[in-house]
A and B are shown apart, each in its own frame.
Chain A
């Protein structure tokens, strides 16, 4: 940690080393601690694992629900996916599904060049947004799917009763597979047009955000992609959850074998999405100390952390006993981060370098200050 790092103990500013020592003794005295939030970069994820191992804590990520909406499908049945670059360069049909796409990736339309033709394969590109929500409020009331290539995104609202996404996706999959649906004729007709577009695609891509779709919807989409691959090529492009979840999940996986919601109390790490849900551990009182790590967002959790690593401006209803101010990865300091435009982990040089501490630096200082066991 640099000299300029800022830290507070019981609301009073203190030297960072003193705060690290206080955090270490709180954690050493705890029976069962949890590292939560985990909004950080690869280095921060590595340091989180090191600290969790040292004190037998468990690890969770604040967007774990979105991680598991995808991961539960992938590890139960597998999937076929592609990258943003291949989507941009090759996809002649792009099917956007559900809400929250632009929240998950504000630059999505420009980065995927949705209004342009695919450059590698040539020809046109059709883009359909199925079951959109508020982000496309200007959407046409009349659902339509244009048969000719064009720059616009064609919007197809939920057609099933109750405006539910899952029955709409189930009906679409049934139609693509040549099965009957329980939809009325008008609703079925619009989906039949879409099904024809999908089956005529040469390299189609389905884009979704698991922050807004649940596991059942993701499973339905992956099943649809499987079905389409019997005759043509189709792949999914699941948008990464927020707060660095993708790079953190990858890092935890190569270092521990498991995604978030993993515990280190036993000699071998244990993974259980229910048991190691930080919110549950804290609400039930099973965890008696909680570290909140959130380098990307000043939004506090809805529970009271013991120790927090947060950006300036984070306002807690009740201040944690120890607070460290941390910088934003890729802005205040160099970082390895998942980049949605690249579709992978890449180097992000600090855009406005500052002396603010990194999550990795603070966690290493806490780990170092732990009493020898």
Chain B
């Protein structure tokens, strides 16, 4: 089957392309224009922008914490929680309608990976992957306490990645969840897990080293300590320094972009963080933009969520002292009239606009923590049109705008920059060579947007989306319902690690470490096998 998209503006920064022309697809792949061949199917996309399918590297769409949020908030479904914690069917439909063809659920503790994969298997239309969370798990802390060395940690991490069918490693406030079980109520970069000398800093460096030893395409994905606290920009800056020259991805940087300036002791420190990111080529960051409205915060930073219980709206929350990280579910409403929320909103936009390399800044709301992913089209409008920003700023508390630099920033994102930030860079960050671009041989995941003055409308309902070459969306509406793939890494490791793990699990937990392994695609109800991304050699 040969398909031709004709007349569109093809924006494909990976291949240096931005011109009006044709795109040819055959059997699920992008192909060069075939000599003399006739297309079986032609889509006239004149007046449209053509990009690779979008890839979201950080969105909480599956797993026990997300499902607990669904159970906790049935009353919000009629309002907005249908978007904050949509069901599997809706997740696939809404993402695809926006031209996204792959998402990464970034916070799955290995012991609950089977449920996360069952949920992902029920998301139609798009490809999915998970990050496995380490850093508060008893076994890693034991390896570190016993000075077992980097090779043992790398083997353990590889065993976890393979058992949980993950694409990379995430650490979430490393050490804090373990410390909270011993009743510590705050935990910083240089605090040690009780009864040990293991600091958050040491855990970060250990997991960075394991990531590099295994050659994982994705760098260590880190949720830093002190999330949401005034003055926590210092934590983020210290964490970037702690990374040394090794790659590190910092998640939802906006939630660490706070200073203590101003009358209320809370201000945006985004310019300082942006400057640091600009200077450090080994650092990447997604933003976790705040948008106003009702949402629910779903985080495996159990300590932070416990401390945030008082801010719950409606007034209820769930805290889970889980294996490894656990988590907390705290519903929350970001209000335009709230000074702090307005500063958060501005700080996120400052980060987007002041980090000058679109290959190292990633487009997220930390769904649903800053806002549901359905706010993406509105966020794109804010980034691409400064008059839209100005209109919004006028509706926000003036004293909040005074502790940010947002009003002084004139930058507007271009379409090629958007294509980098939402497609090309995510594919590169995850090691997905055949995604995020439209070059010959790429997977035929293609999004077509109708150019129009209303940028949010343009990106909300894609004119056409193809997944593996098959049209799945027309004018924002699904026209087919295939299921995507699960994507993983399969690093090699010394299976001798299984002996130590088995002994530890039987003795400490009374169960087999292999009992938590995620079974094959068929058992999960997936129609397609898992796809493995190669490690670097």
Contact = CB atoms under 8 A, between A and B. Distances in A.
Interface of A: 42-43, 46, 71, 74-83, 85-86, 88-90, 110-111, 113, 119-121, 202-203, 229, 232-233, 235, 249-251, 253-259, 271, 334, 336, 339, 341-347
Nearest to A78: B316
Interface of B: 62, 64, 66-67, 70-74, 77, 82, 86-89, 111-112, 114-115, 118-119, 122, 138, 180-183, 195, 306, 309, 312, 316-323, 326, 329, 507-511, 515-519, 523-525
Nearest to B69: A253
Nearest to A347: B519
B182 A202 contact: yes
A298 B329 CA distance: 38
Contacts of B516: 342, 344, 346
B77 A257 contact: yes
B510 A77 contact: no
Contacts of B507: 119
A49 B362 CA distance: 37
A25 to B, nearest CB: 27
A341 B122 CA distance: 26
A101 to B, nearest CB: 17
A176 B86 CA distance: 40
Contacts of B72: 74-75, 78
Contacts of A43: 525
18 contacts: A42-B118, A75-B316, A80-B319, A81-B320, A81-B321, A82-B320, A82-B326, A86-B181, A111-B511, A233-B182, A249-B71, A250-B64, A253-B71, A254-B118, A336-B118, A336-B524, A344-B114, A345-B114
| Most-contacted residue by chain A among B77, B87, B89 (CB, 10 A) | B87
Given A74-B71, A202-B182, A344 B111 contact: yes
Contacts of A346: 114, 515-516
Given A78-B316, A253-B71, 9 more contacts: A78-B318, A80-B320, A82-B322, A88-B509, A89-B508, A89-B509, A257-B70, A257-B86, A334-B523
A68 to B, nearest CB: 11
Contacts of B322: 82-83, 86
Contacts of B180: 233
Contacts of B525: 42-43, 46
A255 B89 contact: yes
A48 to B, nearest CB: 14
A90 to B, nearest CB: 6
Contacts of A334: 519, 523
B181 to A, nearest CB: 6
Contacts of A119: 507-508
Contacts of A251: 118
A71 B71 CA distance: 8
B317 A345 contact: no
Nearest to A107: B510
Nearest to B321: A82
A345 B508 contact: no
Nearest to B184: A233
A104 to B, nearest CB: 18
A90 B511 CA distance: 15
A259 B77 CA distance: 13
A254 B70 contact: yes
Given A85-B323, A257-B82, A334-B523, A339 B70 contact: no
A203 B138 CA distance: 15
A85 B511 contact: yes
Contacts of B115: 250, 344-345
Contact of A235 (B86, B111, B138, B321): B321
B198 to A, nearest CB: 13
A79 B515 CA distance: 27
| Most-contacted residue by chain B among A46, A80, A110 (CB, 10 A) | A80
A334 B180 CA distance: 38
A336 B114 contact: yes
Contacts of B119: 254
A86 B518 CA distance: 21
Contacts of B515: 339, 342, 346
A345 B515 CA distance: 10
Contacts of B82: 257
Contacts of B64: 250, 344
Contacts of A46: 122, 525
Contacts of B316: 75-78
Contact of B318 (A81, A89, A111, A339): A81
A221 B87 CA distance: 31
B497 to A, nearest CB: 19
Contacts of A89: 138, 508-509
Contact of B71 (A110, A259, A336): A259
A342 B111 contact: yes
B118 A345 contact: yes
A203 B87 contact: no
A74 B195 CA distance: 33
A82 B507 CA distance: 19
A243 B511 CA distance: 22
A85 B73 CA distance: 27
A249 B77 CA distance: 17
A251 B121 CA distance: 12
A112 to B, nearest CB: 8
Contacts of B183: 202-203, 232-233
Contacts of B138: 89, 120
A78 B114 CA distance: 25
A257 B323 contact: no
Contacts of B329: 78
| Most-contacted residue by chain A among B77, B322, B525 (CB, 10 A) | B322
A273 to B, nearest CB: 10
A75 to B, nearest CB: 5
A208 B380 CA distance: 49
A78 B511 CA distance: 29
Contacts of A202: 182-183
B510 A110 contact: yes
Contacts of B89: 255
A253 B66 CA distance: 10
A228 to B, nearest CB: 11
A363 B509 CA distance: 37
Contacts of A258: 74
List the 10 closest pairs (A to B, CB-CB), nearest first.
A78-B316, A82-B321, A347-B519, A119-B508, A80-B319, A78-B317, A345-B115, A85-B509, A254-B119, A235-B321
Contacts of A77: 316
A50 to B, nearest CB: 11
A257 B181 contact: no
A285 B498 CA distance: 57
Nearest to B512: A342
A174 to B, nearest CB: 22
Contacts of A121: 182, 195
Given A78-B72, A78-B312, A257 B87 contact: yes
Contacts of B519: 334, 336, 347
A110 B511 CA distance: 11
A259 B326 CA distance: 22
A309 to B, nearest CB: 19
Nearest to B522: A334
A82 B64 CA distance: 13
Contacts of A233: 180-183, 321
| Most-contacted residue by chain A among B112, B114, B518 (CB, 10 A) | B114
A120 B324 CA distance: 12
A88 B312 contact: no
Nearest to A339: B515
B115 to A, nearest CB: 4
Nearest to B72: A75
A362 B77 CA distance: 32
| Most-contacted residue by chain B among A46, A254, A255 (CB, 10 A) | A254
A82 B324 CA distance: 11
A341 B73 CA distance: 28
A257 B74 CA distance: 8
